Amino acid sequence: MLTLQPIGIVHSPYQDTAQVPKGLGAVHQAEGVLEIFAQFEAGLTDIEGFSHLYVLWVFDRAGGCELIGTPPSDNRPHGVFATRSPRRPNPIGLTVVTLLRRDGCNLHVGGVDMLDGTPIVDIKPYLSSVPPEELRRGWLAEAEARRKH
């Protein structure tokens, strides 16, 4: 069995999931702080050189799992692994944030979509070698096209 240990918590303006922008055209511009616990501060060495970070976190307030669900951005059901639904077999979230600055154990970031107090399980620098023209957006692109008509 896998056991994850939180390395910190998120400080966010969102107290409730209804406050987090969702669906087509949702923009995540809110600023927040990733507070990394003191015993992990050495792991932040040299993080300031990166503009964006992957944050892996736990949907600690999501209950249960739904393998098929209808996301807010479409009126058709999709498999959980083709969505960002919090109701997952392993309730792990992934967000790309902009690193604004570091103050000791606190990373000030933009683009948070997590609730205040959310446990953080890992941070990684955002690196991608996939050219934008090769990215496909699956059913989301289809849902956006249907909305335009």
Predicted pLDDT of residue 119: 98
pTM: 0.87
- Cα–Cα distance, 149 to 107 (Å, whole number): 42
CA 104, distance to chain mean position in Å, is 22
Run of H or E including 118: none
Domain boundaries, the chain: 8-148
What are the DSSP E strand ranges found in 4-149?
Answer: 8-11, 31-36, 52-58, 68-69, 78-79, 92-103, 106-110, 119-125
pLDDT tier at 69, thresholds 50, 70, 90:
very high
| Per-residue pLDDT reduced to its tens digit, 88-124 | 999 999 999 999 999 999 999 999 999 999 999 999 9
Predicted pLDDT of residue 129: 81
Predicted pLDDT of residue 90: 93
Decide: 109 and 102 in contact? Cβ < 8 Å: no
CATH number of the structural domain 8-148: 2.40.30.70
